[in-house]
């Protein structure tokens, strides 16, 4: 079973509270903390991004605004790999991160997620702001596109 190395591999972990808006007028930077029930994520769209030796596959990730999303990050490479998209992370409602052992972290803010070789992590979130966001890590480049429909 693949494990996350400890300490936690999130470069910026401001708190362990999940960040969610308390009212519809909240902007991504003005969120109140609350915990969603686990069943909120049952209808999440699932996508997988594989990372290996300076490459993301797929290199373009298409997401739908306001759709709960489960993103499975897999590092198939021989060295640690980052999934860095600071502007994207500021434009989403962060749910939680779950490692292969079921350990859950509820970060309030993220700048990047780092995975060790042969590591898998599930990232739950809701994209809020449509747009194109740069994705990078270890020489890899990609794009995250959030649209209103696909």
55-86 pLDDT tens trace: 999 999 999 999 999 999 999 999 999 999 99
Does residue 135 fall inside a structural domain? yes
pLDDT for position 35: 66
Does residue 132 fall inside a structural domain? yes
pLDDT for position 39: 84
Short-list 135, 131, 139, CA closest to 111: 135
Residue 22 has pLDDT above 80, yes or no: no
Looking up residue 90, the CATH number of its domain turns out to be 2.60.40.420
Does residue 66 fall inside a structural domain? yes
Residue 78's domain spans which residues?
41-147
Cα distance between residue 43 and residue 24, in whole Å: 21
Does residue 7 fall inside a structural domain? no
Task: Give the chain's domain count.
Answer: 1
**Between vectors from CA 37 to CA 84 and to CA 63, what angle results, nearest 5°?**
35
pTM: 0.77
pLDDT for position 38: 73
């Amino acid at each position: 079973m693949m494990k996350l190395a400890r300490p936690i591999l999130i470069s910026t972990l401001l708190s362990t509270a999940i960040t969610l808006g308390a009212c519809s007028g909240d902007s991504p930077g003005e969120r109140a903390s609350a915990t969603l029930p686990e069943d909120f994520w049952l209808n999440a769209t699932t996508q997988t991004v594989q990372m290996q030796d300076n490459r993301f596959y797929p290199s373009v990730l298409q997401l739908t605004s306001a759709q709960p999303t489960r993103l499975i990050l897999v590092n198939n490479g021989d060295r640690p790999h980052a999934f860095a998209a600071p502007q994207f992370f500021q434009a989403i409602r962060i749910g939680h991160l779950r490692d292969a052992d079921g350990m859950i972290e509820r970060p309030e803010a993220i700048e990047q997620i780092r995975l060790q070789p042969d590591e898998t992590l599930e990232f739950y979130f809701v994209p809020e702001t449509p747009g194109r966001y740069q994705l990078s890590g270890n020489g890899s480049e990609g794009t995250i596109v959030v649209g209103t429909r696909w």
